[in-house]
Structure 1
């Protein structure tokens, strides 16, 4: 019984970690896109 609970708990922790990584990746992507846009705007401005 204890082993079953431990496996369930580990799976929950892994899914939480996966969600955190997904959010971090998304935020990183947004930051990179916004930086690229700002660089393009700076390059195009006289």
Structure 2
């Protein structure tokens, strides 16, 4: 997974001011933070297991 190529999502029909269209809710931001924390913990555990 560390070598996987990541492609960001695109929206070709979006106007030039598209960042103004995207406004995450508090719950979405909290969910993303929680998901990133879990993913970080899993990757750290995986790295420790791979080293041992």
Normalising by structure 1, we get a TM-score of 0.61
Q: Hey, which of these two has a bigger chunk of helix by percent?
A: 1
Structure 2: 5+ residue stretches without partners: 1-22
**1:9 partnered with 2:27:** yes
**1:18 partnered with 2:11:** no
Normalising by structure 2, we get a TM-score of 0.54
Q: d(CA) in 2 for partners of 1:21 and 1:31?
A: 15
Structure 1: 5+ residue stretches without partners: 35-46
**1:32 partnered with 2:46:** no
CA RMSD of aligned residues (A): 1.7
